[in-house]
Amino acid sequence: MSFGLCLFLMFPSFGWARDSGDNWRNLSPQEKDNVLRNYQRWQNLPPRDKEHLREEWDRWQNLPQDRRDQLKRRYEDQRRRHSND
């Protein structure tokens, strides 16, 4: 009975652990490398740049979805062009 109670109490944390593991696992290898690289870069950024990026992030999140998709496509195009050069 106590085992069952223990299991019942721990069940939400199992779900949380699984979901949180999924966030990282669901990223592609390229996205994982991206996150790792940018996190390390973030550590060395001056506070002013960090603040700027936070503002840009807020702005990005408030953009309409079609605008975000458009900018994303443009960014990918530019990146491809740079890597080809």
Partner 1 sequence: MKERNCVLENACKEFEADLVLHYYGDDSEADRRRVERHCETCSRCRGFLEDLRQLLPRIAKPQELPPRFWDNYYNEMVEKLALQREQSSWWRNFFSPVRAWALPAFGTAAVAALALFLVFGKAGWHLKPTPSQIPQEILTDANSLEFFNSMDLLESLGTLEKVEGSRTDLRGLRHT
- Taking phi over 0 as left and psi of -120 to 50 as alpha, with beta for the rest, 27 belongs to beta
Shortest distance, position 23 Cβ to partner 1, whole Å: 5
Question: By CB under 8 A, is residue 38 in contact with partner 1?
Answer: yes
Q: Is 72 in the site for partner 1 (CB under 8 A)?
A: yes
Binding test (CB under 8 A) with partner 1, winner from 51, 69, 75, 80: 75
Could you count the other beta carbons within 10 Å of the beta carbon of residue 68? Answer: 13
Closest CA to 60 of 47, 51, 73, 72: 72
**How many amino acids of this chain bind partner 1 (CB under 8 A)?**
38
- Asked whether 32 and 24 are in contact (CB, 8 A), the reply is yes
| Binding site residues, partner 1, CB under 8 A | 2-3, 6-7, 10, 13-15, 17-18, 20-25, 27, 31-32, 34-36, 38-42, 53, 56-57, 59-60, 70-72, 74-75, 78
